Amino acid sequence: MLGKLKTELTNNFKNIKGWKTDRKIIVFSVDDYGNVRLASKEARDNLDKAGMPVESRFDQYDTLETQEDLEYLFDVLTSVKDKNGSHAVFTPFALPANIDFEKIIENNYQEYYYELLPDTLNKLPGYEKVWGLWQEGMKNRLLVPQFHGREHLNLKVFKELLAAKDPQIITALQNRSYTSINFNKYPSIAISAAFDFDKFEENESFKEIIVDGLNAFEKVFGYKAIHFNPPGGREHPIVHSWLKENGIKILDEPSNKKEHLGNGEYRKVYNYMGKMNDLGQVYLVRNAVFEPTQDGRDWVGNTMKQVATAFKWKKPAVISSHRVNFCGHIDEKNRQKGLEDLKELLKQIVTRWPEAEFMAANELGELILAEKDV
Ligand SMILES: [Zn+2]
């Protein structure tokens, strides 16, 4: 009972302050598209045999989106229409680059190399049609990708593991995967979080990754990203100016941000929808969560409640999700569950709010920025 009350309060708290609208705007911000985390069922079996643990559904199911994953997703997104006659749209926070596994192995684990997403898709058997589907999805406004970093891993940790010839990273790389690696040397760094750091000065090294990553994004997706959500842990605001100089106008930030200052010290920062930083970038706060393949919750019911709370406070509903919910490469049942719930959620949204409008996250950001200019 108390837990429920606390959730209610948090849901309301996220929406009190900030930009307001009478419109019923629905945004889906979905992280991790384009990322190679786990290659295949065979790779998972090999990691299991090596004693590398499954600690989350990401370790278990989060594979590069397949032809079926995208085709079935498109079917669901087009199963509803909003008041403007538009279907639902995902804003994938996507990675333009991945580990070049073959090249690293060829070079005897001496150095890190990455490759661009279309090159990864070209070399993987069974993935021949995926890049074409990405193009189709973008053309038909089913997918409007924005920037989730260059690659979904912490390079400092990656390089240290590589230099130490850590047996787990070697096993992971040999299986074209980067998951289930035990690493606890730095409490403030997760291995998959590109902009996590131990000492504050390490932020300097992120400049080159951001500049190069945004160029890679443009090369891969055909336009400049304007919206950023960091891969894994939250970024320090010192990186915002490099993002800004390279085209990023909109940042996703949590309402209650625990901001790392270096050496394990943190401060609390309160963010809200439409908050501006002193560089003129606008913050969006994800005020609803939809993770249908995470156990233990009525996700459709819960997300509907959070959307209703957002609308009650005259806020757009920004629904946070992850690709893993819609992945069927390891187990089709995972994708089925995710997509069935998504279909039901979309149906309930347009039924309850016939005036709903599906919008890409960056479009919402631009809308807020345009009003701030007036
Ligand atoms: Zn991510």
What pLDDT is stored for residue 12 in this prediction?
83
Give residue 84 CA to ligand 1 midpoint distance, Å. Answer: 31
Average pLDDT over residues 51-74: 98
Give 14's contacts (C-beta < 8 A, 6+ positions apart).
Answer: 255, 272, 285, 287
Give residue-wise pLDDT tens across range 194-249: 999 999 999 999 999 999 999 999 999 999 999 999 999 899 999 999 999 999 99
DSSP code, position 83: T
pLDDT at residue 250, as a whole number: 98
Q: Which is nearest to 82 in space by CA: 353, 368, 366?
A: 353
Ligand 1 center to residue 352 CA distance, Å?
31
Q: Are strands 317-322 and 114-116 parallel, antiparallel or unpaired?
A: unpaired
Q: Is 23 exposed, middle or buried (0-12, 13-18, 19+ CB in 10 A)?
A: middle
What's the confidence (pLDDT) of residue 2?
Answer: 66
- Kindly give the distance from the C-alpha atom of residue 127 to the centroid of ligand 1, in angstroms, as a whole number: 21
Query: How much is the average pLDDT of 351-370?
Result: 98
Confidence class of residue 1 from pLDDT cuts 50, 70 and 90? low
Percentage above 70 pLDDT, the chain? 99
Who's near 219: CB < 8 A, 6+ residues apart? 96, 116
Cα of 194 from ligand 1 centre, angstroms: 10
Task: Find the 216 Cα to ligand 1 centroid distance in Å.
Answer: 17
Residues in the chain: 374
Ligand 1 midpoint to CA 250 (Å): 17
CA of 95 to the centre of ligand 1 (A): 9
Architecture of the domain delimited by 22-373 = Alpha-Beta Barrel (3.20)
Alpha-carbon gap, residue 303 to 292, rounded angstroms? 10
Model confidence band, residue 56 (pLDDT cutoffs 50, 70, 90): very high
Residue 234 Cα to ligand 1 midpoint, Å, equals 11
Average per-residue pLDDT for the chain: 96
Expressed in angstroms and rounded, the spacing between residue 65 Cα and the centre of ligand 1 is: 14
Band (48; pLDDT cuts 50, 70, 90): very high
Q: How far is the CA of 2 from the centre of ligand 1 (A)?
A: 31
pLDDT digits (tens, 9 = 90+) for 124-161: 999 999 999 999 999 999 999 999 999 999 999 999 99
Task: State the pLDDT confidence band at 112, using cuts at 50, 70 and 90.
Answer: very high
Q: Give the phi and the psi of residue 25 in degrees, each rounded to 5.
A: -90, 130
pLDDT of residue 294: 97
Tell me the pLDDT tens digit for each residue of 269-310: 999 999 999 999 999 999 999 999 999 899 999 999 999 999
**Distance between Cα 91 and ligand 1 center (Å):** 13
Q: What pLDDT is recorded for position 35?
A: 98
Q: What is the mean pLDDT of residues 161-171?
A: 97
The Å distance, Cα 201 to ligand 1 centre, comes to: 23
* pLDDT band at 15; cut points 50, 70, 90: confident
Q: CA-CA distance, 168 to 51, in Å (whole number)? A: 9
CA of 162 to the centre of ligand 1 (A): 22
Share of the chain above pLDDT 90, in %: 94
Cβ–Cβ under 8 Å, residues 127 and 121: yes
The answer to pTM > 0.85 is yes
8 Å CB contact between 325 and 292: yes
Q: How far is the CA of 374 from the centre of ligand 1 (A)?
A: 34
pLDDT band at 181 (very low <50, low <70, confident <90, very high): very high
* Model pLDDT, residue 216: 98
C-alpha 272 – ligand 1 centre gap (Å): 21
CA of residue 275 to ligand 1 center, whole Å = 23
As a whole number of angstroms, the distance between CA 328 and CA 95 comes to 20
Q: How far does the centroid of ligand 1 lie from the alpha carbon of residue 192, in Å?
A: 8
152 Cα: distance to centroid of ligand 1 (angstroms): 7
Q: Provide CB contacts within 8 A for 325, sequence distance 6+.
A: 290, 291, 292, 293, 334, 338, 342
Query: What's the 325 CA to ligand 1 centre distance in angstroms?
Result: 13
Going by C-alpha positions, the residue among 232, 288, 283, 237 that lies closest to residue 259 is: 237
